[in-house]
Structure 1
């Protein structure tokens, strides 16, 4: 009886081990989550990228290390792209089939990458993921990252644009700091008082009316106009509409002539850029994002931030610069890549990136914590309530509008065409290319 019982026990143990071995292999989803895999299972290898170098991406490397520790069956490698040309290099690698499994996309390219078919929609993954709640994120950011009803990105962080001002220059001129009641005309009047010349040479400018399209969009929207219709299918009557032409003539006048209050593009280049001019007391106001805090805080400049001024009728408009993590639609390990995207966008990641104050957390709870403690840059956070989508986020035709509009502006600034002629030509070109 004892021998028979022993044999029976051995048989049961062998059968149990065989069944266990069969059930543990071949499940990439479980391997991605670090669950149910034997130690002999081959690791899933992923790569992810963003613009910048290893130093500027130190937080991402930390997150990669933590992800690897928490997912023993996945090996993640962080490969940032230093220097300029991130979008070009990423597009080339996607076309060549060598792109990373996960990559970062700026809001201006959200639509174009989706239209290329290189971004994996996340809705099905989220629907099957009982442990993930999309509501941890700011709704406005999730809405930005949805295109045609599908969610393609999860947010890294965000930055609303605001009006930044040099307190010392205002104090020296005995001018009150910008207020929430300011219109663009009020700002222009203050800029005139803050602009200085010595011996016919400009030594200080009141405001930077540069060629970057984002501040220009906020100005046009505040004045009731845009360079495109809502769905980005038409430029005629919008880019060259009466309101747009009038508003842009007024905007360009800020940086033209001997009575200008803004540096020309050539002035800005010569003087080292608007941030450098701002910190050295050569520029009193600029519209930009919170990312400038890093350089401002390293300098001795006293600065403040305010809401972007309103149009004459009280309309205020803003814009959000954001970035979103995407899964490569050609990745061999999409489920594991989705797990990585969640990790890079999650609560701990948001806390890590926003601790130095250069960006704002995309998650609701963490942003509320920043709001409760924020004093100096409160206006920056408030500007998110006025954010609108540029045409590059509303339509796949967006880049056509942006490129033609920018070229028209350059022609005007170089004196090659007047505003009406330049915008007429630009609108005609856009509509022809769309057709």
Structure 2
């Protein structure tokens, strides 16, 4: 009986000491407890758990309460509602395209002074492109965990099988389209070309290319062609997709389904681009570094990455997530100590080994922890070579709404063939008032 009572007492003690991710607690947190809200795949969330555990081992008495969101959208909802309810996490990890709405509301605690006084972190430790994306009204609002860009993931086995040259640095958009045509095949391995009578009605087993019809996929190509997506990157009031440079890119992009090198909307609905590539049904797939962790589980073929194609000059779009500290957090000192560890060589190395991110910390990005010799992709250096050509989208409170609005128009145009002039008019109509609200809040 005494043994049973002792066991029950021990279980009660352990239960009281355990903080379940995402659950509230009426007790006051310990002075060295910090809550962190993140989103990700199971592999990514496992990496954050490992990071939290490593920090706790390295910092006696410290504790990290990890709050796990299922998706980026779920994370945004949780951040918004928790800030509105005056119960936000101490820290959250967010993409720079989404953080503007919280900076505008004054919901974030700037870290400029803490960074300047830190013995462990220094501004020059990080790529300036990522740091700049999280600066607001002269303050460093958040510290970047990663810096990524778009790349072309490609199935090396298919390239070798059909004797197609692998993509090289400096390749043009037209080169990518021609490569996609050469690799679009039926089940017997024959080339399938749209408009050719001998392959009319023949089901495509492997499409040459997968790319989502989104503004953030078109933007770097427009920049490469000498155009821009907005009238003023610093204070945008409208899209500028009616210029000759932007029109050329959009026309080329929207013609991909008519050329026959991309899967249809029905096919994508049944199996998304990432899953299709992993299944060997796409020869090439345009995405950021985030898919690497999943692709490392591929055993049926060899794969690698290539640079994004260009028009006139190299250009790419910044992908970066950062740790942001909430203004009303009562544990800002503890949160900062966690950040110093998470973004140190030790913490950044741990996250780099997942393969999911390109570290924002230069010393780790240029180390074997990220470049990972012997582990795909073999050409990880491409992500570092691209950094000088990275550009961010504008930081305004309503940018996520602009992406949503343009995504609906572009998806319909991509799969259903709307005329270019109509697409440009529809994009402007769908976003003009959203830009106005963003300008007003700034």
Aligned to 1:262: 262
Output the TM-score relative to the length of structure 1.
0.81
> What whole-Å deviation, never above 9, does each CA across 1:93-122 have from its counterpart, x for those lacking one?
111112211111122213222123211111
C-alpha separation between the residues in 2 aligned to 1:292 and 1:52? 11
- In the other structure, the counterpart of 1:278 is 277
1:351-430 map, 5 Å: 351-370=349-368, 374=373, 375-391=378-394, 393=395, 395-413=396-414, 415=416, 417-430=418-431
Q: Once the 2 structures are TM-superposed, how far is the Cα of residue 388 of structure 1 from its aligned partner?
A: 0.9
Q: Is the partner of 1:233 in helix, strand or coil?
A: coil
Contact conserved, 2:222 with 2:249, CA < 8 A, in 1? yes
Q: In 2, are the aligned partners of 1:160 and 1:318 still within 8 Å (CA)?
A: yes
**Closer/same/farther in 2, CA of residues 87 and 100 from structure 1, 3 Å limit:** same
In structure 1, the partner of 2:39 is 51
Distance 2:276 2:269 in 1: 10
Offset, 1:414: 5.3
Structure 1 pair 130–284 and aligned structure 2 pair: CA distance change class (3 A): closer
Indicate conservation of the 8 Å contact 2:238/2:432, yes or no: yes
**For each residue in 1:9-34, what CA deviation from the matched residue of structure 2 results, as whole angstroms up to 9, or x when unmatched?**
xxxxxxxxxxxxxxxxxxxxxxxxxx
Q: What are the within-5 Å matches in structure 2 for residues 42-81 of structure 1?
A: 43-52=31-40, 56-72=44-60, 74-81=62-69
Q: Which moved more, 1:179-188 or 1:358-367?
A: 358-367
Is the counterpart of residue 252 in structure 1 residue 240 in structure 2? Answer: no
Cα gap change, 1:107/1:131 in structure 2, threshold over 3 Å: closer, same or farther?
Answer: closer
The residue number in structure 2 matching 1:136 is: 125
In the TM superposition, what whole-angstrom CA distance separates every residue of 1:172-212 from its partner, at most 9, and x where no partner exists?
22211111131001111111111124652222211123224
* Cα pair 1:53 1:81 within 8 Å, conserved: no
Q: How many residues align?
A: 387
Q: Is the Cα–Cα contact under 8 Å of residues 326 and 341 in structure 1 kept in the other structure?
A: no
**Alpha-carbon distance between aligned partners in 1 of 2:41 and 2:355, rounded to the nearest angstrom:** 20
SS at match of 2:247: helix
Matches within 5 A, 1:187-226: 187-196=176-185, 197=192, 199-226=201-228
The correspondence for 2:140, drawn from 151, 170, 182, is: 151
After TM superposition, the runs of 4+ consecutive aligned structure 1 residues lying more than 6 A away are none
Of 134-143 and 97-106, more deviation after overlay is shown by 134-143
TM superposition shift of 1:44: 4.5
Question: Match of 2:324, SS?
Answer: strand
Q: Report the secondary structure of 1:225's partner residue.
A: coil
Kept after mapping to 1: 8 A contact 2:264/2:415: no
Alpha-carbon deviation of 1:433?
4.0
Structure 1 residues not aligned, in runs of 5+: 1-40
How far apart are the structure 1 equivalents of 2:283 and 2:172?
A: 17
What is the aligned partner in structure 1 of residue 103 from structure 2? 114
Distance in 2, Cα, partners of 1:414 & 1:341 = 44
Q: Distance in 1 between matches of 2:85 and 2:325?
A: 16
Q: Deviations over 1:381-428 (max 9, x none)?
A: 32222211123x3x3343354233223213323548422123223224
SS at match of 2:39: coil
Specify the SS of the correspondent of 2:69: coil
TM-score, length of structure 2 as denominator length: 0.79
Cα 1:372–1:249 change in 2 (3 A) is closer
Whichever of the two has the greater Rg, that structure is 1
CA contact (8 A) 1:222 1:316 kept: yes
For the pair 1:306 / 2:306, whether they are aligned, the reply is yes
